[in-house]
Structure 1
């Protein structure tokens, strides 16, 4: 699938900030996979990173090391942020302030104050703000949500979501609390999405450095288990590990009063081999393989939101709610007891919006 447009509907110019691993995938999607969308520019503060990515893609896009110059480019109508997590909120505010629609990889922020400021900036500018919770766009997880909304399995009673990364290569650069803020944040959003209309009222978390215990004193937690209680009575668990030796493992389960749904598949295909060494199957080892279609679909949805002006499917408020659960989990580990997540803060977001007007 390649980008295209009609004379009456020019291609939407989208700029990318961050030319790293995930940014490179998104850049290829913007340049070659979405009709009516074009990669207008790439920005990365590392000298040569943006230009190198643009050249590899063969895209007629500008390359910047200066973010302000990038945001001032009139060819950039919307922005995709794929930078390190701790930079996200500041970039959302800057992009919104420049009048650009924003797609931001998770987490949108690492504090609730940052989240409120980002939401407020987008509201004040009147621009779309979408956050990258890709599992909502995966075919299996999307179908499960639709079945739950229809009532196919009755009332959700027990939910489960897990993320197991394939390998912990170098733990040294991993910031503290990453397991909650950048890994389990996906699971927290997934559990909210699979129990629609319900609110998490209690969080209890356990975490340790089981993969690399030698890094625990430096703040690494590579294994975690979190229990959630919802206000509709449902109970949920979320678990994460930074090293599943068999592959990249993302699954979910919802048990309800009238049935059960399971989502996720670690196997690369449905092929099973039988031989002298036993029975085996190839497993997925990379997130961009497992969620390739979902990653493309979420940017297609973002582009449609920008064109039509409709609210995005995954909002800044969704990102804030998942972050509130993550922060409650961190506090639970610190205190050793259950924690009530901070409530939604519409008034705070509205105040922040007024402050940017």
Structure 2
């Protein structure tokens, strides 16, 4: 059973009022369901026109409240002219092929990280979007977080002088099921956000050397199955700056995402685990409530990145991180894997491949 979606395109109607941008969400997991809700409820000018998931009941559960059409595969969606753009939130191993297929069909593409798991696949995705002339936007939401964007503006304005030391960290609040974590996930799906943030903060510079250390400190019994749940990566850039990216899968105090840029003329810091500026002072001392979910800490950023994507569907010009940014972050993730494998630093070529 399917629910028909509106037949309008993203063009203007006869009264010169823009018709809604029709978006389809691919994948109905945690982020897919949240993106679908955001599009339907919090993104003016957009409509949730379709939901795609191989499990039809899962797709129906997300689509039904908003009258969206349901599909069980991307080919079925693309065979109908029901969407102007797609939001890809399926498992990361499917991302490249979905980007290529959607772009070939002339659809604007928003894809969650990582866009690919190899540089060749990243190139295929970027080339597909380029050939089709469609916007390609990555789900690097920190670029849309108010505080991170303010830090970037201050850096661009010269507020820190020449960047010398940079830091970005991600500490998840808990590791629910270590058996479900794929090898190298800490680099390709967690720290990849930090890699993009560091590249963005140090824009114009190219990474030239990467040295990673990682271990299973949260769930050591799973190390022999390939789990790495704690990592630190050092990156040297060609402008002399040295950056550190850090991740842990278990911060018992909450969801902790922060960044820092120190330079010749000052410093900016960004990020706060506290849910608000409220602090409680009582007999046991001072305390604050902390954020526990990514969709709480970055609620505004997740919404604003989809607003930007909606604008991109109309204008044809992508905002935020694009395909080349996705490739650059992936390059650092793959270099980290290589560093762990070789037990030492690895050099990068200007194109991001291992030297």
Smaller-chain TM-score bracket: over 0.9
How far, CA to CA, are the matches of 2:194 and 2:47 in structure 1? 31
Find the counterpart in structure 2 of residue 277 from structure 1. Answer: 284
The residue correspondences of 1:250-269 to structure 2 (distance < 5 A) are 250-269=257-276
Find the counterpart in structure 1 of residue 69 from structure 2. Answer: 62
8 Å Cα contact 2:96-2:116 kept in structure 1: yes
Find the counterpart in structure 2 of residue 144 from structure 1. Answer: 151
8 Å Cα contact 2:159-2:267 kept in structure 1: no
1:47 CA drift (Å)? 2.8
8 Å Cα contact 1:324-1:342 kept in structure 2: no
1:177 and 2:184 are equivalent in the alignment? yes
How far, CA to CA, are the matches of 2:298 and 2:121 in structure 1? 28
What is the aligned length?
Answer: 341
Find the counterpart in structure 1 of residue 42 from structure 2. Answer: 33
1:21 and 2:30 are equivalent in the alignment? yes
Cα deviation 1:189-227 (Å, max 9, x = unaligned): 000111111111110000000000000000000000000
1:9 and 2:18 are equivalent in the alignment? yes
Unaligned runs of 5+ in 1: 347-357
How far, CA to CA, are the matches of 2:130 and 2:147 in structure 1? 32
The equivalent position to 2:306 in structure 1, one of 296, 299, 303, is 299
Find the counterpart in structure 1 of residue 108 from structure 2. Answer: 101
How far, CA to CA, are the matches of 2:319 and 2:289 in structure 1? 36
1:249 and 2:261 are equivalent in the alignment? no
3-state SS of paired residue (1:51): helix
8 Å Cα contact 1:327-1:341 kept in structure 2: no
The equivalent position to 2:328 in structure 1, one of 321, 325, 340, is 321
Find the counterpart in structure 1 of residue 5 from structure 2. Answer: none
1:54 CA drift (Å)? 1.2
Cα deviation 1:124-171 (Å, max 9, x = unaligned): 111111101000000111011111111111111100000000000001
Q: What is the TM-score when the length of structure 1 is the normalising length? A: 0.93
How far, CA to CA, are the matches of 1:292 and 1:285 in structure 2? 12
1:228 and 2:265 are equivalent in the alignment? no
Cα deviation 1:68-95 (Å, max 9, x = unaligned): 1112221211000001111111111111
The equivalent position to 1:337 in structure 2, one of 337, 340, 344, is 344
How far, CA to CA, are the matches of 1:343 and 1:87 in structure 2? 28
3-state SS of paired residue (2:180): coil
1:36 CA drift (Å)? 0.9
8 Å Cα contact 1:158-1:234 kept in structure 2: yes
8 Å Cα contact 2:160-2:262 kept in structure 1: yes
1:345 CA drift (Å)? 7.5
3-state SS of paired residue (2:274): coil
Q: What is the TM-score when the length of structure 2 is the normalising length? A: 0.94
8 Å Cα contact 2:170-2:257 kept in structure 1: yes
Which consecutive segments of 4 or more residues in structure 1 shift more than 6 A? Answer: none
1:66 CA drift (Å)? 2.4
1:12 CA drift (Å)? 0.5
Find the counterpart in structure 2 of residue 162 from structure 1. Answer: 169
3-state SS of paired residue (1:108): coil
1:65 CA drift (Å)? 1.1
The alignment's C-alpha RMSD in Å is 1.5
The equivalent position to 2:56 in structure 1, one of 47, 54, 57, is 47
Unaligned runs of 5+ in 2: 1-9
8 Å Cα contact 2:167-2:260 kept in structure 1: yes
8 Å Cα contact 2:207-2:352 kept in structure 1: no
